[in-house]
Structure 1
Amino acid sequence: MSRIYGDPVEVWVRDGEPARFVWRDRLYVVRRVLDHWVTSREWWKVSDTDPGERRFWRVEATPGGDPGTYELRFDTAAEGWLLLRAWD
């Protein structure tokens, strides 16, 4: 079962993929990327300087114990990361 959060997170990237992130004051290490996809912003919100992409990663990560599955999103317009979803 998944839970939806939408919490801002700090993410460290290696080779273009999330490698670590901090969520609720805990450091999570990404063990592997399970999925990656990109969506475009609505056409009326796109400008020449901002393609308005949202980049998603579903990752297996752990704060030190058993790994969990997490969905991260990077918004190119806001230049920020969110943790959207976590699975038990």
Structure 2
Amino acid sequence: MRDKVPYRFRWRGTLYNIIRIIDYWRDVSEWWRGEPELWFWRVLTHTQGVYELVCDPQSNQWWIYHVYD
């Protein structure tokens, strides 16, 4: 999954360029119930915003998990 490092994303019609990966980790939650492995990325954008992005590698879907003020 590390080969799928995000470098930009679009949110609410605006394109955000990622200038730094602050942290990343994976979460398997309740694997015994078949929940998917998710990868989390905390990133800094060119607007100085900090966001947590999540990727489900099975479906290759991304979404915003958290926006920091």
- Fold conserved between structures, TM > 0.5: yes
Q: With CA pairs under 8 Å and 6+ residues apart, which has the higher RCO, 1 or 2?
A: 1
Asked whether 1:84 is paired with 2:65, we answer: yes
How far apart are the structure 2 equivalents of 1:22 and 1:38? 22
Residue aligning to 1:31: 19
Please state how far the C-alpha of 1:16 moved relative to its aligned partner.
Answer: 2.6
How many equivalent residue pairs?
A: 66
Pair member with larger Rg: 1
Q: Which runs of 5+ in 1 are unaligned?
A: 1-14, 47-51
Distance (whole Å) between structure 2 residues aligned to residue 29 and residue 37 of structure 1: 20
Higher strand share: 1
Q: Normalized against structure 1, the TM-score is what?
A: 0.66
**C-alpha deviations, 1:65-86, integer Å up to 9, x for none?**
x311000000134431110111
Matched, 1:55 2:36: no
Q: Return the TM-score normalized by structure 2.
A: 0.82
What is the percentage of aligned positions where both structures have the same residue?
38
**Unaligned segments of structure 2, at least 5 residues:** none
Structure 1 runs (4+) greater than 2 angstroms displaced: 76-79
| Cα RMSD (Å) | 1.6
Give the Cα–Cα distance (whole angstroms) in 2 for the partners of residues 17 and 68 of structure 1. 18
